[in-house]
Amino acid sequence: MPLHRTFLSFSQSLGDAPIFCLRLGNRLMVVVSSYSIAEECFTKNDIVLANRPEFIVRKHIEYNSTTMTSAPYGDHWRNLRRICTLEIFSSHRLNGFLSVRKDEIRHLLLRLSKNSRHGFAKVEMRSLFFELTINNIFRMVAGKRFYGEGTEQDEVAQQVRQLIDEIMSSAGAGNAADYIPILRWITNFEKHIKKLASRLDKFLQSLVDEKRAGKEKGTTMIDHLLSLQATQPDYYTDVTLKGIILVMIFAGSETIAWTLEWAMLNLLNHPEVLKKAKTEIDTKIGFDRLIDESDTINLPYLQWIVLETLRLYPVAPTLDPHMTSEDCMLAGYDVPRGSMLLVNIWAMHRDPSIWEDPEMFKPERFENEKLNQKLLAFGIGRRACPGVGLAHRVVSLALGSMVQCFEWQRIGEEYVDSREEPMSLMRTATPLLAMCKARPIVHNILVD
């Protein structure tokens, strides 16, 4: 059973306890599933809870590259967050990569239209969404595409895909030795992770070195970071640069891809919602041009679909773990230094005292703008997700484009299975299959 469901059952068995503790090996784990306690954690204990616990994968893969998530009890992450906020995720810089996002979405639409120009065709959505999001990140960061059409036979792209695959599956795997240290001596996991970390480091260094050797200054993030390095070499070291690239790739690809998959699954299971979204887009955009990023602000229903997806299917259902850097009090309990805090936002997003008909997919609920504040899919406080702006842009434009350009149906009469895979990042238990048929706009505008 996925962890967030286990935690909910546990809390229910304790009479709907809003907070409880578990001792796992050498670690105290505190699980919170109430808005008021979560707010207390991230306001009153903002500083104490800003760190992340040390896991084996984090220690070797992320620490080596000194990422934002590193440095327990230290504050290196503050500098890296500052760099990210000012230099990576500012509106100005995100706008500069608009053409990349549009081009990758165009690739997605063309792939979808390949067999569907003359009738419904079956498509597997997960891999398409992943290619869209990881290509988008790699192009922003390094100006390269390693996935999808045109890269299949490329040897370097194949190696990169293999490496990314291995890292993502190792990072997502639960590792018992993180809780019971003695197990480190009897499993090979740590050795395997160290080898992966060294391959990863070589790859990231090659991306930086290639840009450094280039004669002309490009527009990628690495180019920009290298220009900052030229003026402040002690601050923007290669290790810092690699840390930023790494965190962009791993925090910014699967999260958006799985959110898109959940959104599409819900449109297939709720044709009345799909119809409303289509009507909104057809009425406001028409049939003579493709939807653009600047249009999405005038498409409230589309935005509500995205918010409702993030409510019912937050891809990080217990946020990223936080760690107490000092002894502290949480909801009147003494919590020692070094404890791990998980916030079960998946359960909070289904709290009937906040959300009417909490289990139902009802985008209209977000007409009440106050509910936005209760959406914690990107976390809260100083370690909240810095990629929220990019995520909203990609999800809204990709979803709006798919609704505008295609008719969608389930592959059979029965509803699409909406169970989750028991992984730390929440995605559907099986890759999403759908039937799609190109609408006239695909022939008139996209293909021509």
Report the residue number, 285 or 305, with the smaller CB distance to ligand HEM.
Answer: 305
Kindly tell me which residue out of 4, 58, 81, 211 binds ligand HEM, with binding defined by CB under 6 A.
Answer: 81
Residues near 381 by beta carbon (within 8 Å), at least 6 away in sequence = 41, 42, 43, 46, 49, 50
Report the residue number, 273 or 323, with the smaller CB distance to ligand HEM.
Answer: 323
Kindly tell me which residue out of 31, 316, 403, 423 binds ligand HEM, with binding defined by CB under 6 A.
Answer: 316
CB distance 133 to 257 below 8 Å:
yes
Instruction: Please state the residue numbers annotated as binding site for heme.
Output: 385
Kindly tell me which residue out of 390, 403, 423, 442 binds ligand HEM, with binding defined by CB under 6 A.
Answer: 390
Site string for ligand HEM, 407-426 (x = CB under 6 A): --------------------
Kindly tell me which residue out of 7, 35, 77, 236 binds ligand HEM, with binding defined by CB under 6 A.
Answer: 77
Q: Does 301 bind ligand HEM (CB under 6 A)?
A: no
Kindly tell me which residue out of 68, 204, 328, 399 binds ligand HEM, with binding defined by CB under 6 A.
Answer: 68
Smallest gap from Cβ 383 to ligand HEM, in A, equals 4
Kindly tell me which residue out of 377, 397, 423, 441 binds ligand HEM, with binding defined by CB under 6 A.
Answer: 377
Site string for ligand HEM, 208-247 (x = CB under 6 A): ---------------------------------------x
Q: Does 341 bind ligand HEM (CB under 6 A)?
A: no
Report the residue number, 110 or 371, with the smaller CB distance to ligand HEM.
Answer: 371
Kindly tell me which residue out of 252, 338, 363, 400 binds ligand HEM, with binding defined by CB under 6 A.
Answer: 252
Report the residue number, 399 or 442, with the smaller CB distance to ligand HEM.
Answer: 399
What gap in Å lies between CA 396 and CA 260, rounded to an integer? Answer: 9
Q: Does 69 bind ligand HEM (CB under 6 A)?
A: yes
How crowded is residue 23: how many other Cβ atoms within 10 Å of its Cβ?
10
- For 254, the token pair is 């699967």
Question: Distances from the Cα of 268 to the Cαs of 124, 411, 419, in angstroms?
Answer: 13, 9, 15
What gap in Å lies between CA 230 and CA 235, rounded to an integer? Answer: 10
* Strand ranges of the sheet holding 121-124, from the earlier edge strand across to the other edge: 121-124, 433-438, 406-409
Smallest gap from Cβ 258 to ligand HEM, in A, equals 8
Q: Does 386 bind ligand HEM (CB under 6 A)?
A: yes
Q: Does 391 bind ligand HEM (CB under 6 A)?
A: yes
Give me the residue label for tokens 């304790």: 14
Q: Residue numbers of the site for ligand HEM (CB under 6 A)?
A: 68-69, 77, 81, 247-248, 251-252, 255-256, 259, 314-316, 319-320, 322, 377-379, 383-387, 390-391
